[in-house]
Structure 1
């Protein structure tokens, strides 16, 4: 709002990608991800570049069940089959829609990755919000404490990296919600060694111009921003107006659909009869750089899913320097659901 070495990489090195060392030093990574995707690229770097450039889709519907014998030394995605099964139980309502854990996991992925911009030498998608750096006590992270505890229990059980789990959980939650896209999902990030920087996340009362500028410093266009805020399709507000705590931001909060775009256009900022409209969403919906794309998403689920997936992949890789070492594990996510 939010990548040739694999052909020669030793199998033992692949195994190490599945479990990140919590305090392994992360190199400073100022500059946009695009600056890391120049020159001779390995297949993973090339894939990421192609997705961000629109050459390939950010959605991958490949699905695989966990093999009877799944060795991390042969496939670093192995533990993620079990993580996926656990998250499915944690994120799904009895009616098949996504629940409060899922919608919080979507927000958690944004807040962990989004605390970064092109001038940052640390931060981004590094798992710091899930780790012991006290970020959960920051006011902008109000409401994420419960899902943080849930995700920490998953991490403790399966010993996967914090940074990877924060983004994996976002992508899993997205597909747990009916109609959501299977966003390409990468593992192999390095975990944080310190708290993310402050002042890098959007404010619900900020102007559209400031929000666009904030996201541009992370590498997102106004078009990308229009797609990313659609994640509010499954959101509920709790702290903007405590008198309306729990009100959804669109009329179908258990479904990953485009009703949010129409609901925002047709209601005033604040509490309405059925939905709560964040001031930031309202001003973006009518801003000259955003409004045309916003209206394009109304009634067009495939368009939004594609644009969201592409933009969120960039979000999920903010501040990640070791792009060549990543592995795609989208195949471990659940299949997409329709109503």
Structure 2
């Protein structure tokens, strides 16, 4: 079939216009020139909120879905759709993070981070049960969850704001909130995926490791959840914030490990019995020493273990 060349001009303008000729080969019966013009940027349409940006980008994905197949080869369409979907997800993540940062302060960070551990910590590999599923909102009256109603109410306010734009699950909300709590206190920046589904009922009781466990029992407990000794020690470093006596309660650093190396006595007010037990175990002590000597290594290992934690047992939305 004979073909002719048509010129597609993509024009983006604020106060002036620029033309970028892109050539596509169309069938000879369809010679045409297609012009796209971006709406001029004015003070009125530039003043959009974060929520408007989320909706605007989702609208852009829809518009591209309708128009790109007329202009591009199929493979290029798929790549364009995927790129815009990622951009939309990132916008949703930024919205969630923005609302969390409005309500989570350094003084409230430890409680929010504890909420993560008590939701995800019920996961059991062999049973494929529990995990990061938002079920902790049904479990707040359990003795082991004493004190978690306050961080729950803090996040409830942020979630209600996000839900007015794009509904977000409790599992996602808690996962992102814990990551932001770490960052707010000076710890590593952690980005987690969105798309977890919420449970509609509480998880079985008795799945969280008790605070009184010795190191051997702790290691066994974490193994049933799919975590190594190294990951156990890295995640335990979360106790560096809060009121457990490991340095500043609002600074996320490696002070936790430095103090454990001093092997505080069982009668001291520093940490939980399970914290002090770690320093008495040779394998745990190896990682405690490593993290006490190198905060960057601790931050990197904590990031990896945290992402694994908030993905444990999660059920995900279908694409």
In structure 1, how many angstroms separate the alpha carbons of the residues matched to 2:318 and 2:311?
Answer: 12
- The root-mean-square deviation of aligned C-alpha atoms, in Å, is 2.1
Structure 1 counterpart of 2:26: none
Q: Please give the residue correspondences for 1:1-339 in structure 2 after superposition, counting only pairs within 5 Å.
A: 69-71=53-55, 73=58, 74=61, 75-92=88-105, 98-99=106-107, 101-130=108-137, 133=138, 135-159=139-163, 160-178=168-186, 180-236=187-243, 248-266=244-262, 267-272=264-269, 276-322=270-316
Q: Secondary structure at the match of 1:271?
A: coil
In structure 1, how many angstroms separate the alpha carbons of the residues matched to 2:318 and 2:117?
Answer: 23
Contact 2:103 2:158 (C-alpha < 8 Å) held by counterparts: no
Q: Secondary structure at the match of 1:206?
A: coil
Q: After superposition, give the CA deviation of every residue in 1:222-266 in whole Å (9 maximum; x if it has no partner).
A: 011110100000022xxxxxxxxxxx3311221110011111232
Q: Secondary structure at the match of 1:290?
A: helix
Q: After superposition, give the CA deviation of every residue in 1:187-231 in whole Å (9 maximum; x if it has no partner).
A: 001111211122211111111111100101111110111101000
In structure 2, how many angstroms separate the alpha carbons of the residues matched to 1:270 and 1:157?
Answer: 45
In structure 2, how many angstroms separate the alpha carbons of the residues matched to 1:324 and 1:288?
Answer: 44
Contact 1:126 1:162 (C-alpha < 8 Å) held by counterparts: yes
Q: Secondary structure at the match of 1:187?
A: coil
Unmatched runs of 5 consecutive residues or more in structure 1 = 1-64, 93-97, 237-247, 326-339
1:87 positional shift: 2.1
Give the paired residue count: 237
In structure 2, how many angstroms separate the alpha carbons of the residues matched to 1:108 and 1:136?
Answer: 10
Q: Secondary structure at the match of 1:137?
A: coil
In structure 2, how many angstroms separate the alpha carbons of the residues matched to 1:172 and 1:206?
Answer: 29
Contact 1:163 1:190 (C-alpha < 8 Å) held by counterparts: yes
CA radius of gyration, larger in: 2
TM-score by length of 1: 0.65
Q: Secondary structure at the match of 1:252?
A: coil
Q: After superposition, give the CA deviation of every residue in 1:134-155 in whole Å (9 maximum; x if it has no partner).
A: x000111011110111112222
In structure 1, how many angstroms separate the alpha carbons of the residues matched to 2:280 and 2:203?
Answer: 32
Unmatched runs of 5 consecutive residues or more in structure 2 = 1-48, 62-87
Contact 1:269 1:278 (C-alpha < 8 Å) held by counterparts: no
TM-score by length of 2: 0.69
Of structures 1 and 2, the one scoring higher in RCO (CA 8 A, sep 6+) is 1
Q: Which runs of 4+ in 1 moved over 6 A?
A: none
Distance 1:86 1:322, change over 3 A: closer
